[in-house]
Structure 1
Amino acid sequence: MSPRPAGRCNALNSPVGQMAARPAKSERSIAEYCLQLVESMALEIIHDVVFCTSRGRVLTTYLTWRVSPRNLFWAIAIQLLILAAPANHARAEEPVPTATVLSEPIISRLVPKSDIQFTKLSLSQGLSQTRVGQIIQDDDGYMWLGAQHGINRFDGYTFQVFKHDRDDPGSLSGVYIYSTFKDRDGTIWIGTDQLLDAFDRKTGKFKHFVLDGSTPTVLQISQDRHGFLWLATSQGLYRLEPATGSVKRFGQVPGRDDGLSTDDIKSTATDREGVFWVATGNGLEAFDPDTGKVNRRIPLRIEAREFQFFEDSKGLFWILWGSGSGLALYDRAQNTVRKISFSNTADGLMSGVYKMIETRNGDLWLVSMGAGLLRFNRADFTFDQYVNDPTDPQSLSENRVIEIFDDRQGNIWTGLHASPPNVFTPEPLPFQKVWPYSGHVNKLGETFVNAILEDRKGNVWMGTGGALTRVDPAGQLRIFDLAENGASVEILSMVEDDNGTLWIGTIGTGLISFDPETGKTQTFRYERGRRDWISSDVVTRVFLDRQRILWLATWNGLNRLDTRTQTFKTFRADTSLNKELFSIDEDDQDNLWIGSRVGLVKFSKATEEFEEFRHDPSDPTTISNNTTNNVFRARDGHLWIATHNGLNVFDPATRAFRAYFEKDGLAGNAVSCTRQDADGNLWISTNRGVSKMDPATGEFQNFTSADGLPGNDMGGWHACSSGRNGRMYFAGFPGAAVVDPSKIRSAEPLAKVLFTDVRIEDKPVLYPLKNADVAYQIRYDQNFAVSFSAFDFSNPAAVRYRYRIAPIETDWHLLPAALRTINFATLPTGTFTLVVEAATERGGWGGSGSLAIQVSPPWWSTWWFIALVCLMSIAAIIAAYKARMMQIEMVYNARLEERLGERTRVARDLHDTLLQSFQGLIYRLEAVRNLLPGEPAKASEMLNVILLKSDDAIVEGRDTIQSLRDPAKATADILTLVENDAAELSTLQPDGSHSLFSLKAVGKQPRLPVEVRDELRQICREALRNAYFHSGAKNIECLFSFDGARMEIVVSDNGKGMPPRSDQQDYSGHYGIAGIMERASNLDAQVSIFSQEGQGTKVTLKMNTTESRLQSISRKLVAHHVR
């Protein structure tokens, strides 16, 4: 026989095919016989079709063989036999096995419990509706809560609501959520009142699936081992292949007894043996999808919609439904069902069990419609019951629970009928609640516990609501009224003496002695005028020292009680500390340390003297606040003082205080009480929870209501005490709790941090939220904000976050408590990774998440812009160089023109002065020549005049040439030039003459153009020459006056002067005055000459020196010179 091809017959290799290949109890099927007949004839199987029918279902098998007349004959014969087989085979099938429902139920009972604290979600967090009937968790850690108006995704802080939007085809198809499911690929499936939806995490949109034209509502979803989704509806059972979207319907077939009994499908699931069960309106049915057969029935006619089974890790097969007791157990071996009945449940209290889960530690939790939350006890087959307690705000919100789910952290979520969901941690919390006591209604309607004490027998005594309360080790409560008339007694402090008697301090009732065994009391009340009696009816603290002496802190001094004589002695200081003492402790030196409203007080029992320690705002080493609620002496001798503003430690050796506040890690600044555990750690109650402190390091761990406290404000009358076996009790406004430090486990590090929201310019970034490998692209000027969550649902408010930007930062930035959003207004350009870590109060930094960010630079920092700038800079340098060269050329040309103009001016001056002078000399010489023959004396006199004129002409010509040749004078100011000219002229004076010259300037000299300066210099030089050579003056003075826009020059001497003239023009022919007048005219200046015989001469020039005017004159002079 040749081997079969590998792909010969998939149907025969399937579980259903293998089931068909096994012999039945009575006979083998005709189909099997035919297949063996084919094999025995050694047919070569490749591909052909043989139809095997088993009770109406056609099974297709592909066979191929060698074609021959003989093979064709046998093929036809086999086909005829197979077609004839169904009727005979149906007649041979046995009926579907049916389980027996036993009439005798399993009797169990409910055990009331109150050791769990429930956290309530609220609509204020964004929840779309109160009733949540579906809860699941996705692979990222988000919790999905299905309500009657959308589905809510929760990150531990806020909800994001998904609901139908008629304008968005990618939104949820409906609003009423009937079912939710997460498949093995992590896809979230949601059955709405319209269609079946699948959430696409990459886009944040929903994909819709239409099952058939009737669009049935999907009530429940499960997945089989092949990956098919099974959808329970009231119109049949549907199988969906997620990859292709193909749908197949299964339902009741009329006239067929071995199929589904009804189209009313409640739920589906696969048990541990691989059997696929369908919960219908008629019961549970073991269904074979390949054959369409029901192999076993459990007849339980259920009218409620909620009907399912649950098989736990121990193999118990639970059946639950939403009516009556709603709970039964199925025995596979005996094929029997027994319902469970609760002996202590009133009729109507149980309205069915909706769902069951098994936690990681093997606990079974059930939710019921009326009996609250149940936990199964395997040891005695009882159920712990958690219900709403009106006296306990941390109890279950209500008794009608419709959904339950356990998340990956171990928290359990419950959906309620008429209240928002509740969340709790099934593991024991660090603190166990002592008060409020479940079911007890305080007569004052409050939870405030003023005092707490554990006695030597383990009874817990509390001062609550005007009475003395005792909770014994068995958890039984008893109330004692200490007042004979039943009036309220406000208890502030308690202590147990060696005889077991309780000494109780009160407000307004003084001191009470209470015998727990007999219930007898003795009251000590203040009596006016009695000195050996209690000094006040307000006793805030009763303290038993090492000598077993009772001390009382009252509001009227310190009292000492002699219990043998029952007499008191009062100690008072001479200051205000006589009033309102709060607490007492003692040290090893036989001193009492007392807390009061006015600071810390030390009382020496030996000397009976007081010493005060008060707050000094100017001294940080003093106590931080005068209201000292509690004084506690640690084992190392340090005093720890609880004040209304900070925890203080006092070192008696240094007599200095050090204070700790919230900024140092303390839970709250209003400190109530302090205790020390066996390891030396301090436990401090505050207005914001309880802190555990390591005195050696100063590190704090804080505990809140999420850790078992009845509330966060544990302030009040410094109520705390140490009990047996290391237990410690803390009490305050919300109640009381006990903690055993040795049983507190360190919290597990958080798994991860996920970025829940990314916004650029306050606009949310579309899906997907990227990971560290894909960077967010933002511009340098864009605002970038991120939010994140560590998905710690047990106490999200206590999660701490820190972040850094790698690689530019190595230090972490610690965020304030409860802050989980970072807003970056600006970021440096480049590619960075934002790293965020999270930690709980009692766990180290662990969970982390990272996000890549790429910040694009501004356009002026991009490579192309920098390259463009470089090119433009090179071009600009070249252009600037050429411009500079052109400027130099222009300046050179201007200087050339200026020099040319100067040469022209010199030529004119030479023409006007030297040449004319020589021309005049020539004329005079001709006149001398004519006079010599006849008048020699007169000719001689004329010749002397000619010689003088010749000297003047020579000097004038030299001066004109010198002005052209001297480059230093081109940059000198007018004062310097005039001073130099005066010095030169003084050396040329005739023999025997010596004039003193003085130059003065008043005001700030304006910046004069060269042309204007030179003209002014020539005017001054001409006036000075006349003074030096012709006036015979002893003193010559030149005064420059600068007054903003005006300038005045005065050249004066005390020489012989000239005869007065009626008009300035009359001087025009004398001593170069014509040149002065011409140059002044070129400057638009006014010149006046005053001279008188014997009184000297004064030449005055006035002109406008505004910048615009000087520039205009300069341009005119240049033009004149060029011409």
Structure 2
Amino acid sequence: MRLISDNIMNVKRMLLSFLLTLLTGISLAGNTEVQITHFSEKDGLPQSVFTGIIQDSKGYIWISSWNGLCRYDGYSFFHYKARQGDNCPLPNNRILSISETKDGNILCKFHENKFFLFKCNEKRFVALPDRVKSQADRFRPTAQQKSMIGCLPEYKDIETRILYKDRQGGYWVFTHSGLDRVVFNKKRLSPVKRSSEGEEFIRCIFQYGADDIFVADKNGVICVWDKVGNTKGYLCGNGSISKLRHPFGANAYCMFRDSHGYLWIGTKPNGLFRLMPLKDGGFKVKAFFKGKDNKYGINNNSVYSVLEDKFGRILVGTYGGGLNVIVNPWSETPQFIHCDNGLDRYPVEAKFIHDMLLVPDGSLLLATNDGLFATKIQRGIHGLRFLQNKRVPSDVESLGNNQVMSLLRSKDGKIYVATYGGGLNVVSSGNLFSDKIRFRAYTMDNGMSTDIVLALYEDKKGLIWAVSEHGLMSFNPRNDTFTNYIEGTFTKGFSFSECPPLGINTGKTTLFGTTQGVLAVDENVLGKSRYVPKIVFDMPDSITLSPEEKSLNVSFAAIDYNKTEPIQYAYMLEDVDKKWLYTKDNHINLSNIPAGTFRLRVRSTNGDGVWVDNEACIIIHRTPYFNERPVAWMLYGGLVLAFIFLLVKVICYIRSLEKEIRILRLSKEEKMEYIKVRLGDMIEGDAQPALPAAIDGSVYGIGSVSSSDGTGSDNAFKEKVETFMQKHYSDSELNVGMFSCEMGLSRSLLYIQMKKVYGCTPNIYMQNYRLEKAYGMLINDKGLNVSEIAYRCGFTDPKYFSRCFKKAEGCTPTEFRERHQLTE
């Protein structure tokens, strides 16, 4: 009986487990999808036999194997093991189990109860005593978890073993082909097609009234939906609504409802259609297209945008013909005014219009292939002036890119400009009617997934949605952050179109145009994960660099293993960077690090693309060179001040010399020589007065020079000078210094006295005296040649003697001697 009872209990448990697994599978199938990430040796794993997995306090995943220890940070595997010649104490690399110690290191168990500790900061193994107690507690999956993993189609007929469940709900599954991480994510969004045709490229979504939504694709079909998305019918070319799928007959690119209730449909390349509503729910259709004989008809058949101004005129933006203004839009024969028949000042660069925007102040903005154009709408349209705003390479506040795709005015009055390649631009200047509109550009450097923006939309929360080719970007203007929805949110196989999104159901649902139908996004379904990953640095919290180390490679990771979008990082080196810098890499290279202590701050999005409050930082200190220290700058400052003081002193001294020169009335050459003499005196420390009025004969020992005529002192000075020169004129070493010393005067006083008595400087006097002696020798000593005479008269170079002689006499010494002989 007991055996039967046990069997019954086991059957009940099996049935209960089966029911739980079935219910779980049904629940997962309805709301989630399975994401399996496969890792093998090509991803950095050591090999395919794993013995244990843990997640440490920082969030790292540690994997033990028969070939060492691995650490995974969500990006890369880092392998640690014993290698030849590395002094590692491990007996082998076959680790049986691992656990984390209280201080954050990894305890590794080997055969025969041998334990080794892996020190994470030092990245090395150390041996431990044999009597260490193992703290390892292997993960034991429940029967439900085994069934949930085992019933996945990917693991059909494959032996699996669940090694671990991490803190984000990911299951680490060991199979014969490697290691898998299995996570159950919410289902990705897909567009819905209303036909079986290969591609349903949605180009226009428009709400006409409270209940009807018109959806136009490039197959020429305009489908009419009700407000919950059910198909009501199809708009035919004659204006009727058909229950059967029937083409409109033209590819609608834009729609607009005017103040009279008329529906205007812009197509490409079939021109413009005006639909007047009828009581039976249909429309009376009138088409306008370019004709050869109609001067006041539309000038281009590709219509991208339609608006109505405050004067009741319909503004038509064409792709190739520019702006068309319908002055009598509800008549049977409306007139189109354009650049060919009235808008004489319309610029040729503005002919390709993507979008238009009317602003309450009367400004009209045109989004074109060649920039943003602005004009002021007035009653008379023939004199409209259009101002162009383009990208200026040297102006950071100019337009980000010349190809403007879409325009949006938000509820708070801001103007948003979508560009193809220049990101999202926001108008920052107040006057729109200007060719110098200022913009602030948001690009990939600010967290956008791409710089290409096709269309714009503002939701009821005030978020600005930017549509790109392969995703959506939500911009929060309150904190200047972007949330990206890319491959993790949507299924593959479609791209977004330029169709402006449409909010329905009081803004709870937004319809986006794609190449495979309409994508309906509910605000609750599109909710993002609020998980806050911890940022960890692969280095100590404080780093000291030498003066020569001006660059540093920093690695970090936001630990989020449930990545559906690439994690974005923002970093800033405080007191060096003025703004946050953005990157998708989990490592950066800091260059030209100045001397001092700085904080490197890093924050990130989570794996769902949402910016979270997870800022972390490390301290970086770079030891300064001597010339980077404050004391060096104080020293340099002192030297500069000393130089300035000396320069001022020299300038003042030169000015005093100039005053003396003015008194002495010297020639230009004498002034330069005098300045050289006085500067030499200043360097030698001579501070004697130099003005003629201050000369006292007692200084020379030759009597007074301050008498009325000065004749006595001058004669004594002459006698002394001539006696000195007679003795020393042949001395080639004779200079002004020796001359002044012999006279008992300073160089400057000698200069003044020589100028007074002889009317020349000491150098000129010595040269003239030597030349006078040379004259006599040339005439009287005929046995001496010119060179000998030059040496005897104190000249060190006969050529120089000849030049001086010729300058004084107008002939060379040889010619002088020959001329004198002829005279005799």
Q: What amino acid does structure 2 have at the position aligned with 1:700?
A: T
2:72 maps to what in 1? Answer: 154
Choose which of 518, 523, 533 in structure 2 pairs with 1:740.
523
Alignment of structure 1 residues 20-35 onto 2, 5 Å: none
Residues 513/729 of structure 1: CA separation in 2 closer, same or farther (3 Å cut): closer
2:536 maps to what in 1? Answer: 754
Residues 132/734 of structure 1: CA separation in 2 closer, same or farther (3 Å cut): farther
Residues 853/690 of structure 1: CA separation in 2 closer, same or farther (3 Å cut): same
1:786 maps to what in 2? Answer: 554
Q: Distance in 2 between matches of 1:404 and 1:591?
A: 71
Choose which of 396, 403, 406 in structure 1 pairs with 2:162.
403
Residues 858/180 of structure 1: CA separation in 2 closer, same or farther (3 Å cut): same
The secondary structure found in structure 1 opposite 2:546 is strand
The secondary structure found in structure 2 opposite 1:206 is strand
2:600 maps to what in 1? Answer: 835
Residues matched between the structures, number: 614
Residues 309/245 of structure 1: CA separation in 2 closer, same or farther (3 Å cut): closer
Q: Distance in 1 between matches of 2:805 and 2:501?
A: 103
Residues 102/633 of structure 1: CA separation in 2 closer, same or farther (3 Å cut): same
Q: What whole-Å deviation, never above 9, does each CA across 1:892-936 have from its counterpart, x for those lacking one?
A: xxxxxxxxxxxxxxxxxxxxxxxxxxxxxxxxxxxxxxxxxxxxx
1:31 maps to what in 2? Answer: none
Alignment of structure 1 residues 843-882 onto 2, 5 Å: 843=611, 846-851=614-619, 853=621, 855=623, 857=625
Q: Is the 8 A contact 2:418 2:425 kept in 1?
A: yes
The secondary structure found in structure 1 opposite 2:618 is strand
Please tell me whether residue 201 in structure 1 is matched to residue 120 in structure 2.
yes
Residues 756/1050 of structure 1: CA separation in 2 closer, same or farther (3 Å cut): closer
Q: Is the 8 A contact 2:221 2:248 kept in 1?
A: no
The secondary structure found in structure 1 opposite 2:583 is coil
Please tell me whether residue 676 in structure 1 is matched to residue 458 in structure 2.
yes
1:412 maps to what in 2? Answer: 170
2:265 maps to what in 1? Answer: 551
Q: What whole-Å deviation, never above 9, does each CA across 1:1062-1094 have from its counterpart, x for those lacking one?
A: xxxxxxxxxxxxxxx9xx9xxxx996152489x
Q: Is the 8 A contact 1:720 1:728 kept in 2?
A: yes
Q: Is the 8 A contact 1:801 1:838 kept in 2?
A: yes
Residues 802/595 of structure 1: CA separation in 2 closer, same or farther (3 Å cut): farther
Q: What amino acid does structure 1 have at the position aligned with 2:204?
A: S
2:203 maps to what in 1? Answer: 492
1:567 maps to what in 2? Answer: 285
Choose which of 129, 132, 157 in structure 2 pairs with 1:245.
132
1:339 maps to what in 2? Answer: none
1:803 maps to what in 2? Answer: 572
Q: What amino acid does structure 1 have at the position aligned with 2:805?
A: I
TM-fit CA distance, 1:685: 1.6
Alignment of structure 1 residues 715-726 onto 2, 5 Å: 715-718=496-499, 720-725=501-506, 726=508
1:1088 maps to what in 2? Answer: 817
Q: Distance in 2 between matches of 1:1021 and 1:575?
A: 114
TM-fit CA distance, 1:848: 1.6
Any unmatched runs of 5+ in structure 1? 1-96, 210-241, 249-266, 270-307, 311-317, 321-326, 328-352, 355-365, 373-386, 389-395, 436-448, 450-461, 469-479, 527-533, 758-768, 868-887, 892-953, 985-1004, 1026-1039, 1055-1076, 1098-1123
Q: Distance in 2 between matches of 1:709 and 1:1023?
A: 113
Q: Distance in 1 between matches of 2:322 and 2:34?
A: 38
Q: Is the 8 A contact 2:203 2:513 kept in 1?
A: no
TM-fit CA distance, 1:187: 4.3
Residues 493/1008 of structure 1: CA separation in 2 closer, same or farther (3 Å cut): same
Q: What amino acid does structure 2 have at the position aligned with 1:691?
A: M
The secondary structure found in structure 2 opposite 1:798 is coil
1:3 maps to what in 2? Answer: none
Q: What amino acid does structure 1 have at the position aligned with 2:582?
A: P
1:1047 maps to what in 2? Answer: 803
TM-fit CA distance, 1:578: 2.0
1:702 maps to what in 2? Answer: 483
Q: Is the 8 A contact 1:727 1:741 kept in 2?
A: no
Residues 844/1022 of structure 1: CA separation in 2 closer, same or farther (3 Å cut): farther
Q: Is the 8 A contact 1:197 1:206 kept in 2?
A: yes
Q: What amino acid does structure 1 have at the position aligned with 2:217?
A: T
TM-fit CA distance, 1:683: 1.3
Residues 524/498 of structure 1: CA separation in 2 closer, same or farther (3 Å cut): same
Q: Distance in 2 between matches of 1:152 and 1:677?
A: 46
TM-fit CA distance, 1:158: 2.7
TM-fit CA distance, 1:677: 1.4
Q: Distance in 1 between matches of 2:485 and 2:554?
A: 28
Q: Distance in 2 between matches of 1:181 and 1:955?
A: 107
Identify which of structures 1 and 2 has the higher relative contact order when contacts are C-alpha pairs closer than 8 Å and 6+ apart: 2
Q: Distance in 1 between matches of 2:611 and 2:82?
A: 41
Residues 175/118 of structure 1: CA separation in 2 closer, same or farther (3 Å cut): farther
Please give the TM-score of this superposition, normalised by the length of structure 1. Answer: 0.44
Q: Distance in 1 between matches of 2:599 and 2:756?
A: 78
Alignment of structure 1 residues 599-998 onto 2, 5 Å: 601=323, 606=328, 609=336, 613=366, 614=368, 619-620=389-390, 629-630=405-406, 632=408, 634-635=410-411, 640=416, 642-645=418-421, 646-647=423-424, 654-655=432-433, 658=439, 660-662=441-443, 663=445, 666-687=448-469, 689-694=471-476, 699-705=480-486, 708-710=489-491, 715-718=496-499, 720-725=501-506, 726-730=508-512, 732=514, 736=519, 738-740=521-523, 744=527, 747=530, 751=534, 753-757=535-539, 769=540, 771-772=541-542, 776=544, 778-781=546-549, 783-795=551-563, 797-804=566-573, 809=575, 814-824=580-590, 827=593, 832-840=597-605, 842-843=610-611, 846-851=614-619, 853=621, 855=623, 857=625, 960-961=722-723, 963=725
My pick for the range that moved more, 195-204 or 583-592, is 583-592
Q: Is the 8 A contact 1:668 1:686 kept in 2?
A: yes
2:770 maps to what in 1? Answer: 1015
Q: What percentage of aligned pairs have identical amino acids?
A: 14
Q: Distance in 1 between matches of 2:615 and 2:156?
A: 32
Q: Is the 8 A contact 2:115 2:130 kept in 1?
A: no
The secondary structure found in structure 1 opposite 2:460 is coil
TM-fit CA distance, 1:164: 4.8
Any unmatched runs of 5+ in structure 2? 240-246, 339-349, 351-365, 372-387, 392-397, 636-680, 685-715, 726-738, 781-794
Q: What amino acid does structure 1 have at the position aligned with 2:523?
A: D
Q: Distance in 2 between matches of 1:626 and 1:960?
A: 91
Q: Distance in 1 between matches of 2:521 and 2:798?
A: 98
Q: Is the 8 A contact 2:215 2:224 kept in 1?
A: yes
Q: Is the 8 A contact 2:471 2:485 kept in 1?
A: yes
TM-fit CA distance, 1:648: 5.4
Choose which of 99, 102, 124 in structure 1 pairs with 2:10.
102
Alignment of structure 1 residues 385-404 onto 2, 5 Å: 402-403=161-162
Residues 197/691 of structure 1: CA separation in 2 closer, same or farther (3 Å cut): same
Q: Distance in 2 between matches of 1:405 and 1:620?
A: 57
The secondary structure found in structure 2 opposite 1:1019 is helix
Residues 162/576 of structure 1: CA separation in 2 closer, same or farther (3 Å cut): farther
TM-fit CA distance, 1:138: 1.4
Residues 692/606 of structure 1: CA separation in 2 closer, same or farther (3 Å cut): farther
TM-fit CA distance, 1:855: 2.5
Q: Is the 8 A contact 1:133 1:402 kept in 2?
A: no
TM-fit CA distance, 1:580: 3.8
RMSD: 6.1
TM-fit CA distance, 1:681: 2.4
